[in-house]
Chains A and B, each alone.
Chain A
Amino acid sequence: MKQYTIPALLALLLAVLVFVSMTGAMNVYWQSVLMFMGINIILSSSLNIINGNMGEFSCGHAGFMAVGAYVSSVLSVLLFAEGSVFGQALLPPHLAVFLFPFVLVAGGVAAALVGLLVAVPSFRTRGDYLAIITIAAAYIVKSTIENINAIGGARGFMGMSKVTAAMNTTAELPWMVIWVFLGTVFSVWLIRRFIFSTLGNGVNAVCQDEIAAEIMSVNTNQVKMTAFMVSCGLAGIAGALFAHVLGYVNPGSFTILKSTEVMVMVYLGGMGSLSGSVLSAILITLLMEALRPLQIIKWIVIPLLLVLLMQFRPEGIMGNRELSDIFPGLKKFYRLKG
């Protein structure tokens, strides 16, 4: 019975969130903060696979987010929204709710495929070299989007708020809150299943000693490809959610600054620690909100935070441990392996 505690708690949390959003007990501002928190959790835990577990240095996570954001936005606007770019919606609005998960997944798949751009060079290079490849790849993505005028180029693309409105025709619920929540839970659940398996342990082995891994029968190329595709795919889903929460997306949101935000979360949480990534995503989201009035100072504080972290506590909050390592009592509530 104890194994069902966590799903029960999550269901309860979802119900509470939906209730306070609908009744207006929680205003729109806090709703959006919570949604960004969820999106940041997805970003941080997915980047942790590459930068934490695999020990690589990927600085281009924002690029994959952008792919997911744009692909899903174009798709959902094409299908469900009426606008100047695509004309009439292809499908009736009441289908929006049921097909939206597929739109999200489509964004994720597209991002995973673009992740191959970075995964393939990673077969032969490592470390600093891979860092520049990821930066270049992210820049190429952003630059490509800016040059496609059909979807708005540098000016951006909009229409997703109409999609959200379409969802309301089925039922008047705070749909984006629900989708972000489900997406976050799904991502963390997926990552947990991946990392806590022998397949996922291959990632740790590649990180700690790639040569030994290769000789001990691990197919390192396959491991890298899998890790990158899972990580980038989830970043794409985060991007898709991001675009639909805002209702508007433009390439300027997906710069090295965004990648840096995500990196701060990963290193603050602790490389390789899933619970760490979740915790630090929550903390950083709140910190960013607190610093919002101090626009430019924010971008001195966040990098400075990471610099200080590297100096004094490079292992971050959790090191490479999980919450269940610190509080063994939690182990009763879920199985770690299997």
Chain B
Amino acid sequence: MALLEVKDMTQYFGGLCAVTDFSVTFAGGELMGLIGPNGAGKTTVFNLISGFYQPSCGDIVFKGTNTRGLKPNKVTGLGIARTFQNIRLWFDMSVLDNILVSQYYHLGYSLWDCFARSKRYLRREAEMRAWAMEILEALDLAQFADELPGNLPYGIQRRVEIARALSTKPDLLMLDEPAAGLNSSDVEGLIKLIAWIHKEFKLSIWMIEHQMDVVMSLCTWIKVIDFGATIAEGTPKEIRENPVVIKAYLGDDAI
């Protein structure tokens, strides 16, 4: 059974077709890229799959479950996590709290346990805390656990967001422009980090990115979309040399 199977997903916003007949299959363990010019609909695809929008038509089947109609928190609970184009951390909570709250779906205790500080509450809180610290240490962020994200440099904030997504124990991690706004040395660090996460956590990673060095060095398969439609897909080498792709990005004169 495929991990994620998307078939002919289409999204209309009023009269505008933002995504047309998008299909993709993840068997599990891939590192795939999604590229295309600005406004092509890449983030919309992520929004559809994570459950933030409901597709006008098409099927999204994740681990055998059809996710149409499921609320985003349920989709995340099933095992799809994502980061955002603009960092959306909770800036008035510590880094550790950011990670802890993301485990809400698997909280494992009720309001009454919370009031009574029952054994179950204490055990679960300790377990969640331990897991959060484990993730932070793995991503070299343990020293920032009690800091407010707003006080941290941008590159660290990006890493915290990735850590937060990882803490939900996903099988599919969707990264929306993880390298946006990073300087070149941070980008190198990011490439190493993503490669390491892919190997260490044994999950599928799907990445939207504009910086070609990140995409080409990490991804084994790339899909290209423009104006909502898939215009090409293949290995990095194939995509680099594909005239349709070049035209979409650079215009006719470049050919």
A residues bordering B, Cβ < 8 Å? 190, 193-194, 197-202, 204-205, 208-209, 211-220, 226, 230, 320, 337-338
Contacts of B175 in A (CB 8 A): none
How far is B73's CA from A219's CA once the two chains are assembled, in angstroms? Answer: 6
Contacts of B107 in A (CB 8 A): 198-199
Q: Mark B51-82, 1 if CB is under 8 A from A, else 0.
A: 11000000000000000000111001100011
When A and B form their complex, what is the total count of cross-chain residue pairs whose Cβ atoms lie within 8 Å?
101
In the complex, which of the residues B71, B106, B115 contacts A214, with contact meaning CB atoms closer than 8 Å? B71
Select the stretch in B11-19, B23-31, B96-104, B236-244 that faces chain A. Answer: B96-104
B101 contacts A215, CB within 8 Å? no
In addition to A198-B104, A217-B102, A218-B101, 18 A-B residue pairs with Cβ atoms within 8 Å of each other are A190-B115, A194-B111, A194-B115, A198-B97, A198-B103, A201-B93, A201-B100, A204-B93, A208-B92, A211-B52, A212-B89, A212-B90, A213-B90, A214-B71, A217-B105, A226-B111, A337-B125, A338-B121
How far is B112's CA from A197's CA once the two chains are assembled, in angstroms? Answer: 12
B52 contacts A201, CB within 8 Å? no
Contacts of A219 in B (CB 8 A): 71, 73, 104-105
B122 contacts A216, CB within 8 Å? no
A199 contacts B114, CB within 8 Å? yes
Contact (A208, B73) CB under 8 Å given A215-B82, A216-B101, A218-B104: no
B117 contacts A205, CB within 8 Å? no
Contact (A205, B93) CB under 8 Å given A197-B121, A338-B117: yes
A199 contacts B100, CB within 8 Å? no
In the complex, which of the residues B88, B125, B165 contacts A338, with contact meaning CB atoms closer than 8 Å? B125
Q: Can you list 27 A-B pairs, Cβ within 8 angstroms, ordered by A?
A: A197-B114, A198-B97, A198-B101, A198-B103, A198-B104, A198-B125, A199-B104, A199-B107, A199-B114, A201-B101, A204-B93, A205-B90, A208-B92, A211-B52, A213-B90, A215-B72, A216-B81, A216-B101, A216-B165, A217-B77, A217-B104, A217-B105, A218-B104, A219-B104, A226-B111, A230-B111, A338-B122
Chain B's interface size range is 35 or more
Residue of A nearest to B80 (CB): A215
Contacts of B51 in A (CB 8 A): 215
* Shortest distance between the CB of A122 and any CB in chain B (Å): 16
How far is B112's CA from A226's CA once the two chains are assembled, in angstroms? Answer: 11
Contacts of A193 in B (CB 8 A): 114-115, 117
A197 contacts B101, CB within 8 Å? no
How far is B128's CA from A215's CA once the two chains are assembled, in angstroms? Answer: 18
Contacts of B154 in A (CB 8 A): none
Contacts of B114 in A (CB 8 A): 193-194, 197, 199-200
B73 contacts A217, CB within 8 Å? yes
A198 contacts B88, CB within 8 Å? no
Is B201 interfacial (CB 8 A cutoff)? no
A212 contacts B88, CB within 8 Å? yes
Contacts of B104 in A (CB 8 A): 198-199, 202, 216-219
Contacts of A202 in B (CB 8 A): 101, 104
B90 contacts A204, CB within 8 Å? yes
Interface centre among A199, A200, A212, A217, by most B CB within 10 Å?
A217
Is B22 interfacial (CB 8 A cutoff)? no
Residue of B nearest to A200 (CB): B114
How far is B47's CA from A215's CA once the two chains are assembled, in angstroms? Answer: 10
Contact (A214, B73) CB under 8 Å given A337-B125, A338-B125: yes
* Shortest distance between the CB of B107 and any CB in chain A (Å): 6
How far is B111's CA from A205's CA once the two chains are assembled, in angstroms? Answer: 17
Contact (A216, B117) CB under 8 Å given A199-B107, A201-B101, A211-B52: no
Contacts of B121 in A (CB 8 A): 197, 338
Is B227 interfacial (CB 8 A cutoff)? no
Contacts of B76 in A (CB 8 A): 215-217
* Shortest distance between the CB of A196 and any CB in chain B (Å): 10
How far is B71's CA from A212's CA once the two chains are assembled, in angstroms? Answer: 13
How far is B104's CA from A226's CA once the two chains are assembled, in angstroms? Answer: 14
Contacts of A205 in B (CB 8 A): 90, 93, 101
Is B144 interfacial (CB 8 A cutoff)? no
* Shortest distance between the CB of B174 and any CB in chain A (Å): 10
Is B10 interfacial (CB 8 A cutoff)? no
